[in-house]
Chains A and B, each alone.
Chain A
Amino acid sequence: MQRYSFLSLLSHAVRRNKRWQPAWRDARLKSGYDVVVIGGGGHGLATAYYLARKHGIRKVAVLERGLIGLGNSGRNTQVVRSNYFYPASSAFYDHSLRLYEQLSAELNFNLMLSQRGLVSLAHSEHELETTRRWCNAIRMNRIDSKMLTPAEIKRLAPPINLDTRFPIVGGFMQPRGGIARHDAVVWGFARGASALGVDIVQNCEVTGFEIAGNRLWGLRTTLGKVAADRVVMSVAGYSSPLAALAGLRLPITTMALQAMVTEPIKPVLDVVVISGSIHAYVSQSDRGEIVMGAGADAYNSFAQRGGLTQQRATMAAVLELFPSFSRLKLMRQWAGRVDITPDTSPIMGPTPIQGLYLNCGWGTGGYKAIPAGGDTMAYTLATGRTHPLIAPFGLERFRSAALVDEGAAAGVAH
């Protein structure tokens, strides 16, 4: 692997940038692996990277139906945060944020992590009460969080309109929350994994599972059969149809979550602003685009495109918060297939089929969890023991009713 540094930039520049190597190796499928990861998104590539780096398991393949990073990893709004309500979620997501904080250095790849602060708004006295409870719960979980007055919110986000139909009466902030460049997260993990010997195989779709008795021993793919000791599914919105190929049923509903950006403008908004009540989240990218998102479309969808109804609701909410943005033109709009669980918490860990593991159910918030998802799944695959951080997120919690209901606790889930 070519290391990137100021000196390498300089030496390539004087050689007219003709000697750059590809960041990672586009591999051919071999006949067998210790671990096969299905899905070349952030979670899949991070799992492969940590398997190789932390556990020395290098006979690993990442199979991607299309090209890496073109699913939800490239369709999110880049928000990273760990302001969750329940201790189980807080511990997991803060582990993820801590990993993000050191990943640029570790991967030698600039993820452009910008911990600019994440501001959540309250639009009524009652919401302010629950916000205070939420803020305190986060502090009890030893994560940074503080209450804000309307004046402080105005100072942090000058273009905001405090006098909305339901006026902003306060809010809270996670200063360590922010955004990180999503393509860089995918490419950084791909480069790191590839350098450690992981095979990244693109345009390779899994068409079936080879199961004997109750033990998985391989996969059928469009590029032929491949033997595998352990397999993990990291395919987000496509989890239900893929699991059905293995005879598994999942508590997942796939919906379309859309996001959109405006034309680029000069810096006007330093923080990420979230309103759970009128439902929108807004930030400004480093390129100057205003990045906006809101709720998922109301109905099941595998279409990877969003409907105008939800787009209009998102726009209405954003313009209520930032009336001056009405002058901007929308430049792009897109949607991802999100895999929503009944409690909006992920499903991670073993399945009833020996050798087959799940990493799914991320719904509208998988991006922030990429490093921790990869780290804990790698541990689980390598040792055969469920990582303590993901023990509460197993598939069996639906039968025992030990749900981690962040959807109810943490308002806007994204």
Chain B
Amino acid sequence: MLRIHCPYCGLRDEPEFTFGGPAHCERPSPSVDDATWTEYLFFRDNPAGMHYERWAHTYGCGRWFNLVRNTLTHEILIVYPMGAPKPSYPAGSL
């Protein structure tokens, strides 16, 4: 079970949270070509390592936030608010 540090409520157990998929997927303008839409709708970074992702504290404060998690070890490195720029994680932490 993951234990996630909600930036608003503190450390809580995984069942309180909802996974929201990858972070930083920017919706393109409706006028872009099919290739850009296809990329936005279906194609995802799927790293065996550090993953930038969104979570919601559904059974807590209900607020969304982002975090960086290692998909091999499930270690959570950085928790940061929605809308903040993509942080870089410390080198050698993979």
A interface residue numbers (CB < 8 A to B): 238, 240-241, 249-254, 298-303, 307-309, 342, 398-399
A-B pairs with the 5 shortest C-beta distances?
A240-B46, A251-B42, A302-B48, A298-B19, A308-B1
Is B26 located at the chain interface by the 8 A CB criterion?
no
**Which residues of chain B from 24 to 63 have any CB-CB distance to chain A below 8 Å in the complex?**
34-35, 38-39, 41-44, 46-49, 51, 53
Which of B19, B35, B43 is in CB contact (< 8 Å) with A299?
B19
- Chain B: how many interface residues by the 8 Å CB criterion? 25
- Report whether over half of chain A's contact residues are helix, strand or loop; otherwise say mixed: mixed
Q: Is B2 engaged at the interface, CB distance under 8 Å to the other chain?
A: yes
Name 23 interchain pairs, CB-CB below 8 A, sorted by A.
A241-B47, A249-B39, A249-B43, A251-B43, A251-B44, A252-B44, A253-B44, A254-B48, A299-B2, A299-B53, A300-B46, A302-B48, A302-B49, A302-B71, A302-B72, A303-B71, A309-B1, A309-B2, A309-B14, A342-B42, A398-B41, A398-B42, A399-B34
In the complex the two chains form, what is the Cα distance from A302 to B70 in whole Å?
9
**B15 CB-CB contact with A under 8 Å:** yes
Known contacts A298-B19, A309-B1, A309-B14; A303/B46 CB under 8 A: no
- Beta-carbon contact of A303 and B42 below 8 Å: no
Q: Distance (Å) between the CB of A341 and the closest chain B CB?
A: 8
Q: State whether A398 and B48 are in contact (beta carbons under 8 Å apart), knowing that A298-B19, A299-B53, A302-B71 are contacts in the complex.
A: no
Q: Identify the interface centre among B42, B53, B71: most chain A CB within 10 Å of its CB.
A: B42
Given A240-B48, A252-B46; 10 other pairs, CB 8 A cutoff: A251-B44, A254-B48, A298-B19, A299-B19, A301-B74, A302-B48, A302-B72, A303-B72, A307-B1, A398-B38
Say which residue of A254, A298, A308, A398 sits within 8 Å of B46 (CB atoms): A254
CB-contact partner of B71 in A252, A301, A307, A398, under 8 A: A301
Q: Is the CB of A399 within 8 A of B35?
A: yes
Report A-chain residues with C-beta under 8 Å of the C-beta of B49: 302
- Given the complex of chains A and B, what is the CA–CA distance between A238 and B48 in angstroms? 8
- With A300-B51, A300-B53, A309-B1 as known contacts, state yes or no: A342 contacts B46, CB within 8 Å: no
